[in-house]
Structure 1
Amino acid sequence: MTVLAASGWITSGEPAAPDPRSQRLAAWHRDSIGGAELPSLASSPERIASFFASMGHRKWMLLAERHPEVVGNLDGVPVEVRYAANRHSLARARQEERERIDDERLSAAGRHHAGRLANRYASLLGEDRQILSFDPSGTGRAAEVLGDLDTAHRISVVVPGVDTDLLTFERTRMRYRSPVGMAEALHTEQTAVAPELPSAVIAWADYTTPRGVGVSAATGELAAEGADRLVRAVEGLPGDAPVALFCHSYGSVVCGLAAERLPDRVTDIVVAGSPGMRVSRADRLGTDARVWATRAIGDWIRDVPHLAVGPIGHGTDPVHPSFGALHVASGSARGHTGYFEPGSDSLRNFARIGTGLFTTVTGLRGAPLCTPETPVGQPA
C-alpha cells in the first residue's frame, strides 16, 4: 500500500482519481457565457479586467458560482467577484475537510489535519473577511484584503517569508507573526497615522514558500515563482492608487526578483529582516520605487551570510550602507518576527511609508530619513 502522508489517505493500488484542479481548469475552457468564450487563464490581468467589464453584475456572479476556484484566483477580476467566488470555494473546501474528519480510511494524523483545515476555512468564511485568493492545493495559498481596494487612496501589500501556508496564514497565539496579523496591525496603524486617508492592506501569501531555512530558502527558485505571481497580483489591482510592498524575510527575495517588472504604481519597496534581494545594490533592482530596509535588534538574519555563489545566497545585506537603501529605524522591534508588533517603531514607520508620510519616517538616529522626492538610496 502507498501511504499519502501529506493528506492522510491510504490507497490500495486503485487508479488515481483525475486531478480536480485540472478538471476545473478544463471546465472553464469549455464554458462560455452569453455566447462569448471565456478568456484564457494565461491572459493578462488587463485582458481579464476588460472581459469582465463587458458584462453585467449578474453574469459576474454566475461565473463566480460556476467556476469559483478559477474566478477567485484570477487577477483582473473585480474584487467583489473574487470575494464571492472564494466564499464558494471555502465553503466547499470546509465541507470536504469535515467529511474527512470521520473518514476511517484516514490515519489519525490525517483526520487531525483535516480538522485543523476545516477550522481554518470556517474562520476565513467569517462575515467580514475579504478573501482575494484561495487555493487549498498542496500546503495552500491565500490573500486577504483589509479595507476597500476600490476606494483606497493608497494600497499596501504584505509579502511574508518561509513557513507560510493556510494553517499559518493567521494565528491566535503570536498573532502578529502571521500574514493576516501583520496586515491587520499595519492597516490599524495606517488608519491611526492618517485617519483622513482611505487605505487598504493586503495580506498576500499567494505563493509557495520554503519550509524552514534549508536549501530551498537559500535559493531563488520558489521566490522566482512567487515574483511572477506578485507581479500579476499588482497588475490586477483596481484603480491607480500608489502601492507599497512590505516584504518580510524570504518575501524580500520575492520582491527583489519582481521589482523590475512591477507596475509604476509601486512607489515603495520595504524589506524587513531580509536575507538579500538577489542584487548587490538597490539601484540594480531596475525600479524607480524607493527602497527601504530595516533589521531589528536580535534578528538572527544578521548572522546569515549575505553572499551569492551560483544559485545559493541572496546577495548584499539590504541594511548595509553599500546597498543604498534608506535605512528605517526599527527601534523597539525585537527578533526576526517582531516588525509588525503594535507599538513598535518599525510598524509606525511602515504605516508612514504606506500612507505617503515620507518626511516623518525616522532613520537610525531618529531624524527624518527622506523627502518625497528622495531618489533610491539618497538620504535627505
Structure 2
Amino acid sequence: MVSFSQLRNLKPSEFDEAAEGWHRVGSAASEAKDRVEKEIVAKLQRDLKGAVCDAAVERLRRLSRNFHYIQVESGLIRTALNGLSSELCAAQRKLEDAVADAEAEKFTVKPDGSVHWVSQSELIPLNPEQSTTADGPRVVLKTDPQRVKAQGYADRIGAAITDANEADAHYSQTLDRLKANNNLNVTDSDWVDAQNDMSALRKFAGKYLQRNDIPKGKSPAENAKWWKGLSADERADYTALFPASIGALDGVPSDVRDEANRAVFTETRAAYQTRLDAMPPEPWPQWVSVGGPYASMVKSDEWMAWNNKYHAEEVRAALKGMDAIKNRLDSTAKDGLPETYLLGFSPEGTGRAIIANGNPDTANHTAVYVPGTTSNLSGIGGDIKRMTDLWKQSHALADGQEISTVTWLGYDAPQKLGRDSPQSHFADEGAPAFNSFIDGLKTSHEPGSDGHLTAIGHSYGTTLIGSAARQGDLHANDIVFAGSPGVQVGKATDLDVPQGHVWNEDADGDPVPEMGRWGHGGSQWKYKGGIGIIPSDDLFGANQMSTDTEGHSNYWTPESRSLKNQAAVVVGQYDKVVTDG
C-alpha cells in the first residue's frame, strides 16, 4: 500500500532511471541481434556453404532469437516502468495540489494525510481542534463551515492516494508476469507468453499510452508528423506496446516498421504453431469414397468435424505463408540478397504481407509489385521469389545504385477464378491502401537520393493499380503491367505517370488479357475508340515490351527477356528496354 508520506516523498527519477536501464538492455540486445544476423550470419551465408556452415548458422540464429526475445521483453518492462512513473507522478501532483490548497486556507495536513484545523465554531468550545480524513464521517455540524472545506481537501488527498495504489497494484501485477524461463532456448510458448504480457500491459497503460492516440485513417504525411513529434521514449514505448499499429503506419521510417512487424510476426507465428501442436491427431482417412460404382472422393465426416472445430486448414495455410516469410528474413546475403524489411503483416482474412528486398527509404530505385487473383498469405512464397529475382536482375544493371523491390499483398485479392476475378470491388477497395503505401514511401524516403519508383502489377494486380490511379493520385514514376485483364481506364495518359512511362507485357499463350477485357477494360469515347480497351491494345498507348516467356505466370523467369525488360524500367535505363515492333 502506498501511504501519504510515501507518495509525497516519491522520487519519480528513480523509476525513470530504472526504465532507462531497461532501455539500455533492450538496445544492447537489439544491436547484438543485428550484429549476429547482419554481420556474422550474413558473412557466413555469403562466403560459405555446407553442413558445417548450416549448423553454425542455426546456432547463431538461436542466439539471435534469444536477443530478440530480450529486446521485446525489455521494451515491455521499460514501458511498464514509464507507465508506472507517469501515473505515480500524476497522483503525486494531485496530492501536492490538494495539500497546497489546504495550507493556503490555514489547514494543517498531518503526516498520515489527515486534515487538521482549529474550529472557530461556538458550539464546540471545549474541543476546538478538529481533523478529518478521506473516510471521515459525513454527518457534521452544519455550523462549522471549516469542516466542510477540510473534508473536501481530505477527499482530494484520499483520491490521490487511491490513484497511486491502483497504479502500484496494476503495474506490480504486470511486472510480475515479465519473467522468462531459465534456459538457452526461446520457445514458441515463450513468444506466446510475450504476446500475453503485451496484452496484459495494454489494459493498465491507458493513462500513459493509448492506442487511440496513434493516427488512424490519416495521410502518410500526418502519420510522419505525429511520429516525429514524439520523444524517443514515447516512440520506443508505442512500438513495444502497439507494434501492429506502428508497423502499419504508412509514412513512418521503414526500419521502425520492420522492427514492429517482426515482433508481431514472431509472436503470431509462435501462436499459430502452438495452436497446431495442441490439436488432437488428425482423423484418418481424410478422404473416403462415396457413390457406389460411380464413386467420388469426399472428405470424411470425422475429418470435417475435426477441421471445423480446430480450423486446421486455416492454421496450416497461414503457417505455410509465415514459413515463406521467415525463409526470406533468414536469407540476407544468400546469393547476394540484401536485408529484408517487413513493412506489413497480418494473418487475418486472406492475409497481409509487405516484404521489401533492401531499404526503400534509402534506395535510388524502388519497385512495388501487386500480385493478382488467388494471392494470399499461404502462397506468398511465390510472390516473394518474383521480387527477389527482379531485385537480382535490377541490381545487375544498377551500377552500384541501391535497389529495393517490394511485394505488396496489402489487399484482399480475388480468390476464385470465374467467380471473383471479374469483380471490380476487390481492386476498388484495395486501391486506397496502395496509394497510401506509395505516398508513405515517398514521405519516409531519405532526402539526398533519387527516389525513382515503379509500380508493377500482375494479372488482377494491374486492375488494382489502374483503380488506384482512377480513384486518387498514384505517385509513381513508371508503371509496368504483366498479363493485364484491364485497368479500368482506356488510355495510358489516365494513369498519373509521365507520358511514355506506362509499360506492358503480354506473353504468348497468356489467355488473361483477352478473357478479362470485358470486365476490367477501359473506354475511349472518340473516333476509333471503344470499350474493353486493355494495356495490350495499341489504342491504349502503353510501351509494348517484348517477352520471351509463355503463359500467364512466367514473366519473372530468371534471365528471361521478360524479366530483363522490367529491370531496365526499374532502374530507369529505358534505352535497354526491348519493345515489339
Q: What is the TM-score normalised by the length of structure 1?
A: 0.79
Greater relative CO, 1 or 2 (CA 8 Å, sep 6+): 1
| Other-structure match for 2:571 | 355
Moved more, 106-115 or 228-237: 106-115
* Structural mapping, 1:239-250, within 5 Å: 239=445, 241-250=451-460
Instruction: Report the alpha carbon displacement of residue 328 of structure 1 after superposing the two structures with TM.
Output: 0.8
Q: What is the TM-score normalised by the length of structure 2?
A: 0.53
Moved more, 58-67 or 346-355: 58-67
* Structural mapping, 1:1-380, within 5 Å: 31=206, 38-101=213-276, 102-104=278-280, 107-108=306-307, 110-125=311-326, 126-127=329-330, 128=332, 129-170=340-381, 178-237=382-441, 238-239=444-445, 241-260=451-470, 261-264=472-475, 266-288=476-498, 290-304=501-515, 306-308=517-519, 315-330=532-547, 332-365=548-581
Describe the SS at the equivalent of 1:157.
strand
Instruction: Report the alpha carbon displacement of residue 38 of structure 1 after superposing the two structures with TM.
Output: 2.1
CA separation in 2, counterparts of 1:136 and 1:119? 11
| Other-structure match for 2:296 | none
CA separation in 1, counterparts of 2:440 and 2:406? 13
CA separation in 2, counterparts of 1:308 and 1:119? 32
Aligned pair count reads 330
Describe the shift of the 1:318–1:122 C-alpha distance in structure 2 as closer, same or farther (beyond 3 A). closer
Moved more, 333-342 or 114-123: 114-123
Instruction: Report the alpha carbon displacement of residue 96 of structure 1 after superposing the two structures with TM.
Output: 1.8
Moved more, 282-291 or 227-236: 282-291
CA separation in 2, counterparts of 1:224 and 1:98? 34
CA separation in 1, counterparts of 2:520 and 2:551? 27
Larger Rg: 2
Instruction: Report the alpha carbon displacement of residue 307 of structure 1 after superposing the two structures with TM.
Output: 2.4
The letter for the 1-side match of 2:428 is A
Which string of whole-angstrom CA distances, capped at 9 and with x for unpartnered residues, describes residues 50-104 of structure 1?
A: 1111235543332222112211112112211111111111122112212221234
CA separation in 1, counterparts of 2:457 and 2:564? 16
Describe the SS at the equivalent of 1:186.
helix
Describe the SS at the equivalent of 1:243.
strand
CA separation in 1, counterparts of 2:239 and 2:346? 15
Instruction: Report the alpha carbon displacement of residue 111 of structure 1 after superposing the two structures with TM.
Output: 2.8
Describe the shift of the 1:32–1:114 C-alpha distance in structure 2 as closer, same or farther (beyond 3 A). same
Instruction: Report the alpha carbon displacement of residue 310 of structure 1 after superposing the two structures with TM.
Output: 11
Describe the SS at the equivalent of 1:306.
helix
Which string of whole-angstrom CA distances, capped at 9 and with x for unpartnered residues, describes residues 307-330 of structure 1?
A: 25999xx93121111111111111
Which string of whole-angstrom CA distances, capped at 9 and with x for unpartnered residues, describes residues 213-245 of structure 1?
A: 224211210101111110000011122612101
CA separation in 2, counterparts of 1:50 and 1:93? 29
CA separation in 2, counterparts of 1:122 and 1:308? 35
CA separation in 2, counterparts of 1:114 and 1:319? 40
CA separation in 1, counterparts of 2:521 and 2:457? 23
CA separation in 1, counterparts of 2:561 and 2:550? 10
Unpaired stretches in structure 1, ≥5 consecutive residues: 1-23, 171-177, 366-380
Describe the shift of the 1:317–1:35 C-alpha distance in structure 2 as closer, same or farther (beyond 3 A). closer
On the 8 A contact 1:72/1:85 being kept in 2, the answer is: yes
Instruction: Report the alpha carbon displacement of residue 333 of structure 1 after superposing the two structures with TM.
Output: 1.3
The letter for the 1-side match of 2:367 is S
Describe the shift of the 1:279–1:204 C-alpha distance in structure 2 as closer, same or farther (beyond 3 A). same
Describe the shift of the 1:293–1:119 C-alpha distance in structure 2 as closer, same or farther (beyond 3 A). closer
On the 8 A contact 1:277/1:315 being kept in 2, the answer is: no
Moved more, 276-285 or 320-329: 276-285
CA separation in 1, counterparts of 2:400 and 2:384? 23
Task: Quote the sequence identity (%).
Answer: 27
Moved more, 355-364 or 105-114: 105-114
Which string of whole-angstrom CA distances, capped at 9 and with x for unpartnered residues, describes residues 249-302 of structure 1?
A: 0001001011253354x1111111000011122223354362111101111214
Describe the SS at the equivalent of 1:232.
helix
Describe the shift of the 1:341–1:82 C-alpha distance in structure 2 as closer, same or farther (beyond 3 A). same
On the 8 A contact 2:258/2:341 being kept in 1, the answer is: yes
Describe the shift of the 1:346–1:191 C-alpha distance in structure 2 as closer, same or farther (beyond 3 A). same
Instruction: Report the alpha carbon displacement of residue 120 of structure 1 after superposing the two structures with TM.
Output: 3.5
Describe the shift of the 1:56–1:40 C-alpha distance in structure 2 as closer, same or farther (beyond 3 A). closer
Larger fraction in helix: 2
CA separation in 1, counterparts of 2:218 and 2:578? 42
On the 8 A contact 1:90/1:124 being kept in 2, the answer is: no
Describe the shift of the 1:134–1:305 C-alpha distance in structure 2 as closer, same or farther (beyond 3 A). closer
CA separation in 1, counterparts of 2:435 and 2:411? 12
On the 8 A contact 2:485/2:534 being kept in 1, the answer is: yes
Moved more, 141-150 or 52-61: 52-61
Describe the shift of the 1:138–1:319 C-alpha distance in structure 2 as closer, same or farther (beyond 3 A). same
Describe the SS at the equivalent of 1:97.
helix
